[in-house]
Structures are given as structure tokens and as C-alpha cells.
Amino acid sequence: MADAGVVARFLIETGYDRDEPEESQLLCPMRLQKMLYYAQGWSIALLGRPLFPQDIEAWRHGPVVREVYDTYRGCSTGIQPDLTTETVSHLSDTEKKLLRVVWEEYARFTPAELRRKTHEEAPWKTARGSLPTDAISCSVISRESLREFFVAHMLKNYRHHGIDPRDAWRAEEDKNPGEVVSREDAFAYLFGDRSGGRTHV
């Protein structure tokens, strides 16, 4: 299992083009935090394990990994890859592929849109209980609530395809894909056609 800082660095570098830096999509701290939340949720659902050991807290602006927040809190205009210090060598090929598809799905949302999405989802709401939306909180979003939410969403979208998408990722790790649907198809089914009508988490 990698540290959350390693996962954060991989996400930061994924959107950065060193040859065309002006065309790069830099992550601001808020967008990065929401990406970490979705990466952790989909890892628990698809791989059956978390990507990183750190807790995700239910802050008033959405899910936050405190250690990563403290590292990049001053980078409001975007985090340059050269500001990161973690190595990504501890990530497996499967974990990197998962992070790339999470990036592809969620990078197109603005930070405000991602904040709104996470506020509408059960893990953040459950962790905060009856607190007002703007109340300060450091309540932890449990891994069980992440598992329940993301697995339920996943199975709902796959029911009519007759396949459990977790099989695609298990096959990838076993290096024995067989007849199992590909990871790319798995996410395409899960989120819908990215070029048109889509279903979102």
C-alpha cells in the first residue's frame, strides 16, 4: 500500500505535460483532495483494498486527506510537479491504471463541481451526521462507508451487463484476463459514453 503523498504525486503528474506546460491541467488542492477520495473509493470497490492508509476526513468543503492538505495548502493556483517530493515507484501497474481512469473521469469537473458531488454522496454525509453543511468537522469517512457506496453504485450500473466489474481488475492483477471484460470497457460501462450521455457517481 502506498502513502497518500505517493498517490497525490501520481495524480499531479498525470495532468502535467512537461513539453507543453502551458497546456497542462494543474491540480489545485481542492481538486486533488476530491481525486484522492474517488481514487480511494474506487480502489476499495474494484481492488478490494485501499490505495493508501491515511484517513479521509469530512471537512466542510468535502473529503480531505489532512497530510496531503498540509503539504499543498499554499498552492491555490495549481500544484507544479516539481513541488512534489514522493516517489511513485511504490504504486503497482494496476494501481497506476486505476488512477489514470479516475483522472480521466473526474479531471473534467471543476473543483466546485467536485465539492458539490461529494456533498451529495453518502460517505461524506454519513461522517458528518447532523452537522450543518458549513460546520467545521474532522470526522473520519469510514472505509466501510466508501465500500458500501462505491460497490452499490458499481453493481447498479453493471446489473444488466451480467458481469461483476471487479473481475476485470482481479484478472489484471493475476495477469490472466481470459474472457473477462477489459478494464477500459469496465469503466466505459460504469460511467457511460464519455462523449455523450453519461452516468456519474
Read out DSSP for 102-143?
A: HHHHHTTS-HHHHHHHHHTSHHHHHHHTT--TTS----EE-H
pTM for the complete prediction? 0.84
Q: Whole-number mean pLDDT of the chain? A: 82
Query: What percentage of residues in the chain have a pLDDT greater than 70?
Result: 74
pLDDT of amino acid 66: 97
On whether residue 157 sits in a domain, the answer given is no
Please state the domain count of the chain. 1
In the predicted structure, residue 37 carries a pLDDT above the cut 80: yes
On whether residue 159 sits in a domain, the answer given is no
Distance (Å, whole) CA 172 – CA 174: 5
On whether residue 172 sits in a domain, the answer given is no
Q: What residue numbers bound the domain in which 35 lies?
A: 4-142
On whether residue 178 sits in a domain, the answer given is no
On whether residue 150 sits in a domain, the answer given is no
On whether residue 169 sits in a domain, the answer given is no
On whether residue 59 sits in a domain, the answer given is yes
On whether residue 158 sits in a domain, the answer given is no
pLDDT digits (tens, 9 = 90+) for 57-84: 999 999 999 999 999 988 877 887 775 5
The listed range with the strongest mean pLDDT (9-13, 39-43, 105-109, 157-161) is 39-43
Cell of 175: 495477469
